[in-house]
Chain A
């Protein structure tokens, strides 16, 4: 799988996180991001961001990382 999707997904999830920082605690924010991804992202997109996290997920910001981790549960 190429890079166009992955780089956009990283940007997207970080951006969703940035826009949810203030909804409450870090946990609240991560929940909001995780629920957003569950509701709006397509299956292959979810798979790709999961794989990315498993490979280290370096470019994910803190809330994004927590949210994606949560999605795997």
Chain B
């Protein structure tokens, strides 16, 4: 969408959407605004800036400070313009002597109670209180400056990122409202009355101990320096800013990186960011310090074997060493004996180049990406049913949903900004169904209660979704018109017959899923009856042996109820990493060229061959798990791995360890010596998102610019490194800027045809498909038809996973993420986010704990048929009896030592969410952990020797 408003200006109250426009006169100027707009905002849109203190355009008006008072013809007194809606024919005066005096009096009161240490205040130069004092022309304070200065009030410095200094508080309650309205956490209150009132976090227990999730919305909302980033307190106000995109989760928040030279002072969520609308979470806003952490490796290194120390070398030597090894391997073991892995953390342009190097320079299709282990079933399932491997909506769309069903996702932890948006919609009255084995925050939290929590057993998703569809069809709740007009009727009739079979009835599946039949019936009726019902899902759907079937089951349900093709509905995968969508779009999968075009299609391949000037293989290549197996078998011997930590993130660590040790040449490109790099022979230093120029594509298919805010620390950008490696391998690529890479993508991937950096500058962001038919992109997919013409119902038979609890392994382990850490933790573990989660723990239900004599905090051994590890136990009622849960953010906790190599039948996405385990009380680390520690110590020592070696 084109930018209508200045994102750097605060318009005082939120924009309103209405077809009815009203025209009023403000200071002699006619202004037309949508009905419901405040007088304050209407004036601001006409660039008549009424002073304000308690109002901000991301919060509903509160009317407490009265600085924004105006006169309105025919009305008595001086109403607050922020709480007064504009009306047709209104005549408003914003400036006259009476108003000026009134405003000065108010300011005088505020100032008399404020410590006037402006010159040494961290907000100096960027303080709304100062600005308003200036704007109202405050020249004297009749109550004297001897009023309470509160400088003895105790600061709350418990949060690692910001400080609360109550002496500066004007009790405008913007922070309280930001926490409620924007974030939805309700951690803050105003205690007391009048001059004694003050802001309190929780029961006045300090920010860190309260429910605060450190999103920073209150800090951003505060007009004074009461709530202030520590980085600003320490280093002063920033002097310039660059708009870029968060590199953590798939929400893809836009930020203004506020800088002092090449140093980031703070990240402020960008108001014009269409994914986040000015909000963020703790990771994106605060956890960027890893980028300049001492652990960064910024020089290329090589070694002959992983039993040797690293040796620092020049870039040229690193490239020629790497290329030489790869060529030797191929000469000896064949063209298909090497491959590579692209990363969903890297940009589209970087990812595109890596898969291009593999296909063109390695000469095979052995390319895969970490999306293999998270959302590959989404690609398969949605392409089969809806014709495109992507979610159907925008995040904004949820604001038009009447009912939201969240399946296997925990958005308030893993996609926090979307989680906040969803909570807001639920507070506005939308219904909510949660299908999850665990009791997540969305099931019950302040002002949120889900209508249904369908607490299913891990591994029974398909039985559950089939039961939902069974109720819809057998009770006649389907959308007959939508099915008749938009769906393939042969497929539908076949599916209808299948799903109507009695074995899918909730009464029959109750024993499988553990969800009472009546609850499923009631949830299905609620879903089908909603005018707009939207489904959001996460890795709890995909990371199963039937991940793809479940995605298709979800699409079936959406099609059957006509919930596709408009705002407020749809099938929405919540992508784990920032660029999962993009890495899939860019042709990272072994069977698909960029734009999801199959390698076996001669015409398509021919276009790539013409553009790249090489012959391409017409057979799919190996997927990550196939690469590992082939490595163990000795047929796969070389790998290029960019920005991805397979040694920690992939399941069955012992198996991955064996595979990586079998390689003759592992080239790792990363910012740290990550777990995978400990098995590498070539280390190519990579860059953080702050050093990158490129694009990320978020879960809404939104392509956002990533802009370089500081120069690449290793001296070369990642795309330049890939290009140089390719050249050393004998295949030259010539780009002088990432924009040229995007231009090439646009010529080869039809859904990207209209995308370029110029268009991104013009439009802000673009949701693909962007082509001649949709030159500004496609916010909502499938409005008139599907890329495959008609919607396709798929048969989704429930097949129980082989991973079942038994006498030896009686519990089911499921894994997930928490808010403060991100995936393998390589980034967040190197930030103060450690304050919230410095170790992975095992959650278990009290009954399972009691049976085993386990107390909260005890060390417990977790064993599965794949391996054993040891963690601390946490006793909770968030998991059901028989189910245990952990996170995988810390390598030493070895969560993936326990997970198995079971995987989705269609895509080999690992079954992280179901592992049969036993848990026992122990008092020493597992063998694996001891070996891991020894290996880590050795590799850290090799790195140290490498750093100290003299570059050759």
Contacts and interface: CB of A to CB of B under 8 A. Distances in A.
Nearest to B598: A39
Contacts of B626: 5, 8, 42, 45
A15 B906 CA distance: 9
Interface in A9-44: 12, 15-16, 18-19, 21-24, 36, 38-44
A8 B629 contact: yes
B630 A41 contact: no
B905 A8 contact: no
A4 B626 CA distance: 9
Contacts of B680: none
A19 B546 contact: yes
Contacts of A4: 628-630, 632-633
Contacts of B545: 15
Nearest to A43: B619
10 tightest A-B contacts by CB? Answer: A2-B633, A4-B629, A22-B797, A4-B632, A5-B629, A15-B905, A43-B619, A19-B905, A42-B622, A18-B799
Given A16-B906, A18-B799, 7 more contacts: A4-B630, A5-B630, A8-B901, A19-B905, A22-B498, A22-B797, A24-B494
B633 A22 contact: no
B795 interface: yes
Contact of B366 (A1, A40, A42, A46): A42
B620 A44 contact: no
Nearest to B618: A43
B905 A18 contact: yes
A24 B623 CA distance: 29
A19 B622 CA distance: 22
A52 B494 CA distance: 34
B616 interface: no
B621 interface: yes
Contacts of B590: 42
B211 to A, nearest CB: 43
A14 to B, nearest CB: 9
B635 A42 contact: no
Given A8-B626, A16-B906, A39-B591, A21 B366 contact: no
B652 to A, nearest CB: 11
A8 B905 CA distance: 11
* Interface size classification for chain A: 20 to 34
A5 B633 contact: yes
* Interface size classification for chain B: 20 to 34
Contact of B795 (A1, A23, A38): A23
Contact of B797 (A2, A19, A43, A44): A19
B554 to A, nearest CB: 16
B730 interface: no
A1 B635 contact: yes
B392 interface: no
A60 B598 CA distance: 28
A40 B498 contact: no
A39 B598 CA distance: 8
A3 B307 CA distance: 27
B365 interface: yes
Contacts of A44: 336, 622, 630, 635
Interface in B592-610: 598, 600
A42 B365 contact: yes
B359 to A, nearest CB: 13
B387 interface: no
B620 A40 contact: yes
B634 A42 contact: no
Contact of A43 (B336, B625, B799): B336
A32 B265 CA distance: 56
B355 interface: no
Contacts of A15: 545, 799, 905
Contacts of B625: 8
Contacts of B620: 39-42
Given A8-B626, A16-B906, A39 B600 contact: yes
A36 to B, nearest CB: 7
10 contacts: A1-B633, A5-B632, A8-B626, A8-B629, A23-B795, A40-B906, A41-B620, A44-B336, A44-B630, A46-B619
Contacts of B336: 42-44
B908 interface: yes
Contacts of A3: 633
A6 to B, nearest CB: 8
Select the residue from A3, A12, A40 with max chain B CB neighbours within 10 A. A40
B244 interface: no
Contacts of B298: none
B549 interface: yes
Contacts of A21: 797
Select the residue from B591, B632, B905 with max chain A CB neighbours within 10 A. B905
Contacts of B591: 39-40
Interface string B363-386: 001100000000000000000000
Contacts of A2: 632-634
B622 A45 contact: yes
A20 to B, nearest CB: 8
A15 B901 CA distance: 13
Nearest to B632: A4
A2 B494 CA distance: 42
Contacts of B622: 42, 44-45
Contacts of B908: 12
A45 to B, nearest CB: 6
Contacts of B619: 42-43, 46
Nearest to A2: B633
